[in-house]
Structure 1
Amino acid sequence: MRTTGQEQTSSPAVVKKQLPNGLEIYQNNEGETEFLYNEIFRKEMYFKHGITLPEHATVMDVGANIGIFTLFVNSKSDTCTVYAFEPLPPTYDILTMNTGQLPNVTVVNCGLSNANKEADFAYFPTMSTDSVQLKYRENHDQDLRYGLLNHYRDEFADPKTLNRFVDHLMAPKLLNEQIFRCKLTTISELMRNYALNQVDLLKIDVEKSEFEVLEGIAAEDWGKISQIVMEVHGLNEEQIARLEQIFHTNGFDCLIDYYDDLNIPDYYNVYAKSRSNPVKIVDPQQ
C-alpha cells in the first residue's frame, strides 16, 4: 500500500544516537545508521583508489541522506566547505538537524538530475537509503531486501532467522511506502547558483539516477571538478561501458570497483579523477 507523504503520519520517531566515535546525531532507523557509519567512517569506502580530501576542499554531497558523509568530511577537516543535497522532506529534516548548524555546510532540499524539474519519489521510512524515483520503483523490492539483510545481518547468527525477520519488515504495512513530489536540478545549475568554480570532490549516491546526474554536468563544468566518487547499482556490461565512456570523454580516469562486501549483485563503486584538474595539495607552511 502506498500513501502520499502528506497523508502519512506513522513514520518512525526521530531520536538522538551517539556514534562509536562519540559524535551525536539524530536518526529514525538504528540499523541504517549503524550501516552508514560502518561504510563511511570505519571502511572509508569513498576514499579509496587515490580519492583524497585536501584542506579547504569544496565538496558536493549528492544524495546526502541524514548527513553521515557530510559529518565524516567535517570530522576530517573543518576547513572544507560542503554542499549537501537531499530531495525527500523527512530525510532532509534529519539532515538539517545533523549538519545545519555546522558553519561550513549548506543543506539544500532538492535532488539532482539532468534538468530543472519535479519528480515523484518512493520513500521508505525504515530504509531511507533505498528510497528511489518512482519511475525506477519497479523491481526495486530486491534491492530493498538486500539492503535490509545488510543492515541487520550482524544481529542474527542464524541466516534463516535473519531472512524471516526481513520478510516481516518487507510487509507493506511495515515498509510504509510513501510518495513525495520533489524538486530536481542539475550539478551545473548549482555550481552557478553557488558560484563554484572548483569542486574538489563530488560524491553521488542517488539510487539508479546516476546517469541523469552526470548528464546534468555541462561540458564546460567537467573541467572544474577534480574527483568524483559514486555508487551504481544493477549495471550490465553495456551500461558499465557507457559509464566509462562518459568519464573518459570528459577528461577523467576512472576505476569501477565491484563491491562484494554487501553481497549485492552488480553493485559497484566508481572512483574518478580528472586528468586536467587534479586535486591541489596546499602546503600549510606557505
Structure 2
Amino acid sequence: MSRTEHERLPSQTEAIPKKRLSNGIEIYQNNEGETEFLYNEIFRKEMYFKHGITLPDNGTVMDVGANIGMFTLYVSSKSNCKVYAFEPLPPTFNLLKMNTSSLPHVTTVNVGLSNEIKEAEFAYFPTMSTDSVQIKYRENHDQDLRYGLINHYKDDFANPRMLNRLVDHLMSPKLLNEQIYRCKLTTISEMIRYYDLNEIDLLKIDVEKSEFEVLEGILPEDWGKIKQIVMEVHGLDGEQISRLENIFRTNGFNVLIDYYEDLNIPNYYNVYALNQMHQPAVNEV
C-alpha cells in the first residue's frame, strides 16, 4: 500500500466553492446545504461526544469516513490529537486534503476501511457526498437519499408539499449526477500496523451501511488498543442491534445504541462504546 496522504493537491482550487463557517473556519465544500448539515451535527450538537465519549488531548483519533473533513476539523479545533482521516472517494478526498492541509497533526489517507484489503465500486453523489455508498448497498438506497435531502432542506420550507417537490426535482438522474468510482479498501488492523499505533483514543466511523465490515476488520488482538468508538449505523433491525451489542461486549466494551431522533430516519442509530479496560462503565442498553 502506498502512502496516499502525500498526493499532490489539485492545482486549481479557485473553482471549488469555499465557505466561512460561523466559528470562522473556512472550508472547501461540495455544496452549502451539506456543509451546514455537517457543521450543525458536529460542531453545534456535538453529536459524537455524548454518553461518556470524550476527546483526549495529545491522543490519537481515527476518522473513518472523513468526507470533507468536518469531524477532523472539529477535533483539531479542540485538541492537539493526531488524526488519521480516511476517505475512499477521490473527489471528496481532494476536499478533505485541502481542508486539512494546514493542520500538522492530520494525516489524510485516500482509502476506505473494510474487513479485508481489496477494491470496491462506490456510487458517488456530488450533491450529496455524505450519502455516497458502496455499489453492493446501492439497491433501495434512493429512500435514504430522499431522507438526506429532506433533512438538508427542511428548514427552508414551511410547506411540506413544496419541500417534497424540491426533493423530487433533486432526485432526478440528471441532478443527482451519480458517478461510479473504484476505490481501495483496507482494514483498521492493517492501518494500526502501517502507522505503528499502540493506542487509539477515539475511533469514529461513518461509512454508509458498511459499518459491520469495518468492525470485522479489527483483529482480536487490536480491540484492546481502542479506548472509545462512536459510529453512525444505518438500517438496524432488532437482530442487527443484538449482533452489534454482542460484537462490542465480546470485545470488552460497554455500549449504548441511541436512536437518532433528530433526523427522523427509520432504523438510524448512533453508537457509543467505551472500552472497559480504559474507561468508566456507561449505562448499557
3-state SS of 1:135 partner: helix
* Cross-structure match for 2:99: 98
The answer to whether the 8 A contact 1:224-1:277 is kept is no
For 1:262 and 1:147, the matched residues in 2 are separated by 8
Say whether 1:126 aligns with 2:127. yes
Q: Kindly provide the CA deviation profile for residues 114-144 of structure 1, in whole angstroms up to 9, marking residues without a partner as x.
A: 0000000000000000000000000000000
- Quick one: which of 48, 51, 65 aligns to 1:49? 51
Q: Kindly provide the CA deviation profile for residues 50-78 of structure 1, in whole angstroms up to 9, marking residues without a partner as x.
A: 0000111100000000000000000101x
| TM-score for both structures, normalised by structure 2 | 0.92
For 2:102 and 2:195, the matched residues in 1 are separated by 19
The answer to whether the 8 A contact 1:121-1:181 is kept is yes
- How is 1:271-286 mapped onto 2 (pairs within 5 angstroms)? 271-278=272-279
The answer to whether the 8 A contact 1:186-1:216 is kept is yes
Q: CA deviation at 1:100?
A: 2.2
3-state SS of 1:208 partner: coil
3-state SS of 2:263 partner: coil
Note the residue ranges of structure 1 that are not aligned, 5 or more in a row.
1-12, 280-286
* Cross-structure match for 2:64: 62
For 2:102 and 2:198, the matched residues in 1 are separated by 25
For 1:154 and 1:137, the matched residues in 2 are separated by 27
The answer to whether the 8 A contact 1:32-1:127 is kept is yes
- Quick one: which of 32, 38, 41 aligns to 2:40? 38
3-state SS of 2:47 partner: coil
Q: CA deviation at 1:157?
A: 1.5
For 1:148 and 1:277, the matched residues in 2 are separated by 39
Say whether 1:233 aligns with 2:228. no
Q: Kindly provide the CA deviation profile for residues 75-112 of structure 1, in whole angstroms up to 9, marking residues without a partner as x.
A: 101x1100000000000000000012210000000000
User: In percent, how many aligned pairs have the same letter?
Assistant: 77
Q: Kindly provide the CA deviation profile for residues 254-274 of structure 1, in whole angstroms up to 9, marking residues without a partner as x.
A: 000001101111110000000
For 1:113 and 1:236, the matched residues in 2 are separated by 21
The answer to whether the 8 A contact 2:30-2:129 is kept is no
* Cross-structure match for 1:198: 199
Q: Kindly provide the CA deviation profile for residues 195-218 of structure 1, in whole angstroms up to 9, marking residues without a partner as x.
A: 001000000000000000000000
Paired residues, number? 266
- How is 1:1-286 mapped onto 2 (pairs within 5 angstroms)? 14-77=16-79, 79-278=80-279
Q: Kindly provide the CA deviation profile for residues 155-198 of structure 1, in whole angstroms up to 9, marking residues without a partner as x.
A: 11111111100100000000000000000000000000000010
Q: Which amino acid aligns with 1:30?
A: E
Q: CA deviation at 1:14?
A: 2.0
3-state SS of 1:254 partner: strand
The answer to whether the 8 A contact 2:229-2:273 is kept is yes
For 2:279 and 2:102, the matched residues in 1 are separated by 31
Q: Which amino acid aligns with 1:234?
A: G
Q: Which amino acid aligns with 2:214?
A: V
Q: Which amino acid aligns with 1:159?
A: P
The answer to whether the 8 A contact 2:53-2:274 is kept is yes
Q: Which amino acid aligns with 1:222?
A: W
Higher relative contact order, structure no. (Cα contacts within 8 Å, ≥ 6 residues apart) = 1
Q: Which amino acid aligns with 1:154?
A: D
For 1:86 and 1:65, the matched residues in 2 are separated by 6
For 1:152 and 1:30, the matched residues in 2 are separated by 11
3-state SS of 1:41 partner: helix
* Cross-structure match for 2:8: none
3-state SS of 2:262 partner: coil
| TM-score for both structures, normalised by structure 1 | 0.92
Q: Which amino acid aligns with 1:196?
A: L
The answer to whether the 8 A contact 1:25-1:98 is kept is yes
3-state SS of 2:249 partner: helix
3-state SS of 2:261 partner: coil
Q: Which amino acid aligns with 1:74?
A: S
Q: Which amino acid aligns with 2:225?
A: K
For 1:119 and 1:101, the matched residues in 2 are separated by 30
For 2:159 and 2:33, the matched residues in 1 are separated by 17
